[in-house]
Structure 1
Amino acid sequence: MANVTFSGPTLPKNVTVYAVADNKTLLSLAKKHEIAIPFQCQDGECGSCLIKVTYLGANKPKAIHLTDKEKLTLSVNGKLSKAVLEQAEVNDVPPTYRLACQYLVQDEDILVEFTGEPGVEIDLRR
């Protein structure tokens, strides 16, 4: 079981929802709770559902899985360098940026930030 907190300018305040790790995507969880993460293709090809994921709590983040589509889309958009991809695949260190339509909800607490504009990144200096 996990708490997923959504943060974005289209929300009046951060919204935390209780999620079950059931092979559903973060985008489907957001849609279920009427949280307007931008999306277009829902297939990992357009990059419009770009999110920043921060892992909360003391536990090490669980092993992640980047789909081939997500790898390509994030790489083309400059959000996934070879070094970050290697850290993800070899050392199970999750990348900061993901696609909500490809990210499977795990049993861990996370903060999901999005801008409300398709494919626009969150400022990391915040």
Structure 2
Amino acid sequence: MGLVTFSNPEFKDKTVYAVAGSHTETILKLAKEHRVPVQFDCQDGECGSCLVHVTSIDGKDRMGGPLTEKEKNVLHELGKLTKEEIEQMLVDDLPSEWRLACQMIVRDEDLLVEF
């Protein structure tokens, strides 16, 4: 079980428990369940409205699941990832700090999610 802290300058930070390994617990689903106002539209990884910045709270390398193809395309279109960075992520096996909340599956780690 991990802790996810949602942070936004316009709202008070909120930390919630996240059940790891369910393969359905996205950052967006977790936010909605706990009434955290993360913006979203399509909920399918195509519009980019749920863009979040995700970092590790404890300073460890984040495990986060790999980016979906939709996520890679949208993050590239939004200018958050270059093609070279996408290729390097595959080599290093490290996820991007920029994610789509509707696509990122929560793992057993403590995260800071800025939206």
Query: Fold conserved (TM > 0.5)?
Result: yes
Which residue in 2 is equivalent to 1:92? 93
Which residue in 2 is equivalent to 1:101? 102
Which residue in 1 is equivalent to 2:65? 64
Listed as ranges, the matches of 1:1-126 within 5 Å are 1-11=1-11, 13-21=12-20, 22-23=22-23, 24-62=25-63, 64-114=65-115
Which residues of structure 1 form unaligned runs of 5+?
A: 115-126
Q: Are residues 58 and 7 of structure 1, via their aligned partners in 2, closer, same or farther at CA, if it must alter by over 3 Å? A: closer
Which residue in 2 is equivalent to 1:118? none
What is the aligned-residue RMSD (CA, Å)? 1.3
Q: Are residues 60 and 35 of structure 1, via their aligned partners in 2, closer, same or farther at CA, if it must alter by over 3 Å? A: same
Q: CA deviation at 1:63?
A: 5.4
Q: Between the two proteins, what is the percent identity of the paired residues?
A: 53
Query: TM-score with structure 2 length normalisation?
Result: 0.91
Query: TM-score with structure 1 length normalisation?
Result: 0.84
Which residues of structure 2 form unaligned runs of 5+?
A: none
Verify the 8 A CA contact 1:10 1:36 in the aligned structure 2.
Answer: no
Figure out how many residues of one structure are paired with residues of the other and give that number: 113
Q: Tell me, what secondary structure is at the counterpart of 2:76?
A: helix
Q: Which has the higher strand share?
A: 2
Moved over 6 A (4+): none
